[in-house]
Amino acid sequence: MAELRNLDLNLLVVFQYLLEERNISAVARRLDLSQPAVSNALRRLRAALGDDLFVRTPHGMQPTPHAERLGGPVSEALALLSHTLEATHEFRPAHSQRRFRIAMSDVGEIHFMPRLIELCARHAPAVRIDSLRLQGADLRREMDAGRVDLAIGAFEGLGSGIMQRMLFRQGYATLFRRGHPSAHEGMSLKAFRTASHLVVSRAAPYGQVNQALEKAGVALTANFSVPHFSAVPYVVSTTDLLATVPHKLAAGVAPYFRLGMLTPPVRVPALQTNLYWHRRFHRDSGSQWLRALVLDTFAETA
């Protein structure tokens, strides 16, 4: 405890954000500080801990081995302290400046983020939401540590201690540009199979659509691919490629990109989207508010 008395605990927040961002300018923006103020905080941290902590490289501020060892304990301590302080009073969205972190895919960002931002602007103007990409053990570790408040999507293997609630189930739709020479509702499997497709190669957790296409005879390796769904409408709108995507994504982007939609002539299992949160924060008033916001806005009744 003697060493703690000599350390401004606010510096640990700077340390945590540097671990996440690896960039002084980004940390300054998150903390609403000037770059010199963040640099000064890093200087004080180095002096207090007797280590460089972060070294400037072409790939950003990279942590030293000592900083890596400190990262986990510091993150867990800050998360516990933050949630403890939040729990001491009722969360008031109209006055809170809390920053929530939600794990979701690029499809999730397209579907959820615009509405969540609109609702925050209306009911919680100083609340901020960060989305991030995490899966499996990495997501579980961040939720255990309290560094991720919610996850929205189709995540597997999160294990015990993670609570969940179904939001909705959806099928898939195939997008095509208006004026496409052969695409239309009721398109035959033969025509669908021989058409050129745009494949989303890193579709987790939506890989089942690629399995269904392959099973139906669509040669995935012979077609074009992109790693994420967010690029799909831009590509499809200017080519004769077909792209089979989750139905809500298709319905959301089709009007903006002047795209047509058809029901794919292949059997694809319905996709279930869930809301996940850690049992430790089940009664946290801020988490309860955010969960209620998501459920009230997006949950569909059977």
- The predicted pLDDT at position 2 comes to 40
All domains of the chain in start order, with CATH: 4-87 (1.10.10.10), 93-169+272-298 (3.40.190.10), 172-269 (3.40.190.10)
Q: Which pTM was predicted?
A: 0.70
Task: Name residue 226's beta-bridge partners.
Answer: 200
Helices (H), strands (E): how many in the chain?
Answer: 12, 12
| Of the candidates 76, 73, 93, 74, the residue with the CA atom closest to the CA atom of residue 84 | 76
- In the chain, the DSSP E strands lie at 54-57, 60-63, 99-103, 128-132, 150-153, 162-170, 172-177, 198-200, 224-226, 243-246, 259-262, 271-278
C-alpha pair distances (Å), 98 with each of 14, 127, 251? 17, 5, 32
| Of the candidates 129, 109, 93, 100, the residue with the CA atom closest to the CA atom of residue 289 | 93
Structure tokens at 265: 């002539």
The DSSP call for residue 184 is -
pLDDT in tens, the chain (302 residues): 446 666 787 889 999 899 888 999 999 998 889 999 999 999 999 988 889 999 999 888 999 999 998 888 888 788 777 766 655 567 899 999 999 999 999 899 999 999 999 999 999 999 999 999 888 888 988 888 888 999 999 888 788 889 999 999 999 999 999 999 999 999 999 999 999 999 998 766 667 888 889 998 988 888 899 988 999 999 999 999 999 999 999 999 999 999 999 999 999 888 999 999 999 889 888 999 999 999 999 998 75
- The predicted pLDDT at position 131 comes to 94
Place of tokens 């009664």: 283
d(CA 257, CA 265): 23
- The predicted pLDDT at position 87 comes to 56
